[in-house]
Structure 1
Amino acid sequence: MHASERSSWHRLDPRHLESVVKKPLLRGWFHTVATPVSMAALLVLIVLTPTVAGRAAASVFLLTSLMLFGISGFYHRHYWGRLADKFLRNWDHSNIFLLIAGTYTPMAVGVLPTHDILVLLLVVWIGAGAGIALQWLWPSAPRWVYTPIYVVLGWVAVWYLPELAHFGGLAFTWLLAAGGICYTIGAIVYGFKWPDFSPRYFGFHELFHAFTLAGWVCHCIAAYFALLG
């Protein structure tokens, strides 16, 4: 085999790529641990929620949370091969859109009047569907294209801030805002790949995951206020 052929084979062979791609040791572990924790927290919420609509909304939040944390933890901790990695990456990024819409669901159902619930959820779920379509139709899209979409879709609630504050109360509103800020900071870290503290142990992607987890915790507590308050 000629040197050029060997080089080409190495570029394509997943086993070679696995030996080259070195992920930080903590890559994926935040979301791996978050998977059972989120399941427990939201199962408790489902059990405690008194209404059928509220339990259904909390179930949507549970399902989208498990999809995001579970797939992310599975995907990020190993290199699965070129084709599998591509599929898992698209699925992982699609789950971000699903979680945004899934998070809005219990907030809207628990706090807003019926008409506002329908409008807000229609907007965020259509937006999530469009984002997922973009992810699968243009999987090679640069970060500067899809990362701002996450942020914009996540802050749709600003249009309903007076209603959310009025019906949800101060604690709920602050938790909603704090979660959004955490998610936004995480998106900025992800978009700029900075700061990259320790590429061997804890890089920019781990910091991004840490901020997403902090944002999720804020919104999980807010969901308790929304459905049980």
Structure 2
Amino acid sequence: MTLPVPELVLIDLDGTLIDSVPDLSYAIDGMMLQLELPQRGEEKVRRWIGNGVERLVKRALLDQLEGEPEADLFQAAFHLFKVLYTECNGHHSVLYPQVREGLDWLKSQGYLLACITNKAEQFTIPLLKSLKVYDDFRLVISGDTLPQQKPNPMPLLHAASYFQVNPHHSLMIGDSINDVQAARAAGFQIICVTYGYNHGEDIRTAQPDAVIDSFAQFPQVIGSKL
């Protein structure tokens, strides 16, 4: 199936462009070690990503998806995490296969590209630069750029307004139900990748407009703008 050709393409970061779990799990386990609490490991961290680093730290402290840890413990843990993640951010993270080729194809077609993530700006920009994809985007909206983040539609609508593009002529590319919910609320089309972070759930259950295994499939699901 080929979707209507969009004017604007927004792309999620963690789980869509970049596998950042190795760095995140290193920081989480280092944080837990300093707090003299059990380390959680990469497998659990992979299931917990998707709602920003504050929620990730809370999930690590609680060893579960939902709930709120004791406030003082969280503040101490979050400080440790930020120090550790700042040190290791981008050291072991990698672009997913075919991402570089997919971005090059989108740019060759003249698409406006923006990166939309719930990751804080202090971590987002260095990570994009470390993996040499920062310059591919005309706009980067991080988790603390605006008052709301995904699944709220505000970041998507802000991008559409910034480029003066109708949301109904815009496309979100992501990996999680957060991306699907944000896109639906904003009136965007939504394509999801199969390999990302969706808390262990099959992204097809969220019913995006299309599902792809890699960015190499863009020509088949979006088509040529030229």
Q: Which has the larger radius of gyration?
A: 1
TM-score normalised by L of structure 1: 0.30
Tell me the TM-score normalised to structure 2 length.
Answer: 0.30
**Greater share of strand:** 2
Structure with larger RCO (C-alpha < 8 A, sep 6+): 2
More helix by share: 1
